[in-house]
Amino acid sequence: MEGKLKKFGFEVSEKIEKDPPSYSIKGVVSFLNEITKEDDRRLAISLGLGDPSRFKCFRTTAIAEDAVIEAIRSAKFNFYAPTGGIFPARKAIAEYLSNDLHYQLSPEDIYVTVGCKHAMEVTVKVLARPEANILLPRPGFRNYENFANLHHLEFRLFDLLPERGWEVDLDAVEAIADENTIAMVIINPGNPCGSVYSYEHLSKIAETARKLGILVVADEVYGHVVFGSKPFVPMGVFGSTVPVFTLGSISKRWMVPGWRLGWLATSDPTGLLRKCGIADSIKNVLDPAPLSPTFIQAAVPEILQKTTEEFFSKTIDILRAASALCYDKLKEIPSITCPQKAEGSMFVLVKLNLSLLEDIEDDMEFCLKLAKEESLVLLPGVTVGLKNWLRITFAVEQSSLEDGLGRLKSFSSNRTSPEASLTSDHITSNQETKMKTGIDLSENISQKAFRSSRATRLSDFMGNSAKLHQKKKVMGTNVLKTETPTSIDDAVYFLKENLNVGDHRPSISFGFGDPSCFECFRTTPIAEDAIVEAVRSAKFNSYAPTGGILPARRAVADYLSRDLPYRLSPDDVYLTLGCNQAAEITIEVLARPGANILLPRPGYPDIEAYAI
């Protein structure tokens, strides 16, 4: 065999190959944008993504821009942030959330994340353990299901009831919960429904969770983005009844999803989660994870404390008018049923009446033909868990919304069957919202008699969770087991906490590879000016496409090609949240049953953590 090369043994991870991106919101919307009518002289209109930052009427407040620019110009916030975020940001978030509570959150209750989506993944990783399951809403945000699959956490679906303002079907929650259920997720204000839960309904959710002995994960990324009759009530108000994970970010209320600053807060005034070791579990999960840019974190106190009510009111007024316009225009389309006018977030969920439409099999085909014929992009309901429904975002400029709804009406009219009854197919029962995928909540599922105390169940779960997330570094055949921290971050902070308190000399750290805190290592003004210019332009507050924006990928390809005997193209480059995330993605792509990877010793421990 000498002289022969072995065939390369790497291949795409079976799990990634089986999970097509086409059912992700971003994947579907990107695909639909690509197939919009090429010869249509009209501009394509997208009512698919919840990202209004590209419209001038939704530009963020100058206070937020100035705060970020001030942090950049100071050159004090170019360093790696500590696990969980810098203290001023955590303190400001705790105070911001506490404004709506009858108790005070502390900075120790706050964990800064790279947007709310990252907070979702951290939550799932912390909760995941063998045999456990989590209850998710249907319709809902499919990323929860994706993260649950990725981290081997079973999920079960409970329905939201359109005839009751998309409230949680609490009977269904009790029916599908068992002794291995650890949490339920609610999204309020609602994505994709545009619903807002009342104090009374949230109280019932809390009581149900308490009876079942499970915690509540409250996705409140659209917190305070409400414009109907009901005020926003955070789930944390009921923290004394049941422990709550509160997930949020500055993305939606401040219209800056591209800044990637979110949080996970433990709303638990009884202290049950901390006693059970949940704080350690969250820190262990966050430790090797990407960090939100430190200069964005540094701007958080100014953003949260000084943004004026005038800015918020202006945004809410625009959304209220857009919601009303959307509702009124949709009522003119017989083949579409809108259960209720949106009262929060920036979406409305509507039902397709396929019996009134010709040559349309389902919601996906409807959206495909709509994009091709009218250059209009809507989100098919299958991506949020409800087949033959549509999610429409109205957080766009009024002219675009009016034009888009006009195209929708025209398309639907042209597809209306002449034999069909003109009577709209209104929702008459909850059965119409049932999906025949996953768990059918209409089935007669026997309820478990398990009703042990919530404290006992949560203590048992948290203890197992903490053990599960204890770090074990594998080095060849030797397993390093230690109670002291073994990641670089943990080790350095552990040593700092154990300094000689009697030594009055300034402490010196040679532990981190981060010279940015020293004046002699300040970055070039060219880099600072480039970021300031991008912030001032207000053109880059939006979500970036998967892999990064083209100018950045092209620049990275050109930079790397300088040292190569060939040229890289932008298609060879994928932007990540620092090199840590690049390492994590690499491991995830290569991982498959029976495979192994060779790592250097000594080496970088986070890569080992990702492999484990």
What is the CATH number for 540?
A: 3.40.640.10
Indicate if 316 and 243 belong to the same structural domain.
no
> Facing residues of 46 across strands?
377
Does 482 have pLDDT greater than 50? no
- Total Cβ atoms within 10 A of residue 504: 6
Indicate if 256 and 116 belong to the same structural domain.
yes
Indicate if 580 and 494 belong to the same structural domain.
yes
User: By the 8 A CB rule, do 116 and 251 touch?
Assistant: yes
Q: Are strands 473-475 and 154-161 parallel, antiparallel or unpaired?
A: unpaired
- Total Cβ atoms within 10 A of residue 422: 7
pTM beyond 0.85, yes or no: yes
Nearest in space to 197 (alpha carbons), one of 187, 206, 207? 187
Give the pLDDT of residue 446. Answer: 28
Domain extent for 521:
470-498+513-611
User: By the 8 A CB rule, do 101 and 234 touch?
Assistant: yes
Kindly report each contact of residues 418-427 with a partner whose C-beta sits within 8 Å and lies 24 or more positions away, as own/partner: 420/355, 420/356, 420/357, 421/355, 421/356, 422/334, 424/334, 424/335, 424/337, 424/353, 424/356, 425/337, 425/351, 425/353, 425/355, 425/356, 426/337, 427/162, 427/163, 427/337, 427/339, 427/351
* Matching residue, tokens 């079973």: 154
pLDDT tier at 434, thresholds 50, 70, 90: very low
Write down the H helix ranges in 331-469: 363-374, 398-415, 454-468
More confident residue, 287 or 370: 370
Indicate if 457 and 376 belong to the same structural domain.
no
- Judged on CB neighbours under 10 Å (0-12, 13-18, 19+), 64 is buried
Q: Which residues of 95-109 are buried (b: 16+ CB within 10 A; e: fewer)?
A: bbbbeebeeebebeb
Average pLDDT along the chain:
87
Give the pLDDT of residue 341. Answer: 97
- Total Cβ atoms within 10 A of residue 15: 13
pLDDT tier at 255, thresholds 50, 70, 90: very high
Indicate if 51 and 96 belong to the same structural domain.
no
Give the pLDDT of residue 14. Answer: 59
More confident residue, 450 or 11: 11
Query: Mean per-residue pLDDT for 419-424?
Result: 50
Cα separation, 265 vs 119, whole angstroms: 9
Q: Does some domain include residue 136? A: yes
More confident residue, 16 or 66: 66
Give the pLDDT of residue 21. Answer: 46
Does 468 have pLDDT greater than 70? no
pLDDT tier at 23, thresholds 50, 70, 90: low
Q: Does some domain include residue 438? A: no
Q: What's the number of domains the chain is made of?
A: 3
Q: Does some domain include residue 3? A: no
What is the CATH number for 356?
A: 3.90.1150.10
Summarised one tens digit per residue, pLDDT across range 132-160 is 999 999 999 999 999 999 999 999 999 99
Q: Which distant-in-sequence residues (6+ apart) come within 8 Å of 602 by Cβ?
A: none
Indicate if 89 and 157 belong to the same structural domain.
yes
Query: Mean per-residue pLDDT for 544-554?
Result: 96
- Strand arrangement of the beta sheet that strand 167-168 belongs to: 110-113, 262-267, 244-249, 215-219, 181-187, 133-138, 154-161, 167-168
- Could you say which DSSP state residue 200 is in? H
Q: Does some domain include residue 122? A: yes
Q: Does some domain include residue 336? A: yes
Q: Which distant-in-sequence residues (6+ apart) come within 8 Å of 243 by Cβ?
A: 215, 216, 266, 267, 268, 270, 272, 273, 458
Q: Does some domain include residue 105? A: yes
Cα separation, 221 vs 345, whole angstroms: 9
* Matching residue, tokens 């106190």: 301
**How far separated are the first and last CA of the chain, in Å rounded?**
34
Q: Does some domain include residue 78? A: no
Indicate if 131 and 226 belong to the same structural domain.
yes
Does 224 have pLDDT greater than 80? yes
Q: Does some domain include residue 415? A: yes
Torsion angle of the four alpha carbons 63, 69, 73, 77, in this order, in degrees rounded to the nearest 10 = 90
What proportion of the chain, given as a percentage, has pLDDT over 70? 85
Query: Mean per-residue pLDDT for 390-402?
Result: 97
Indicate if 107 and 162 belong to the same structural domain.
yes
Indicate if 477 and 399 belong to the same structural domain.
no
Indicate if 281 and 320 belong to the same structural domain.
no
Indicate if 345 and 490 belong to the same structural domain.
no
Query: Mean per-residue pLDDT for 443-458?
Result: 37
Indicate if 115 and 231 belong to the same structural domain.
yes
* Matching residue, tokens 């204000």: 189
More confident residue, 424 or 30: 30
- Could you say which DSSP state residue 523 is in? P
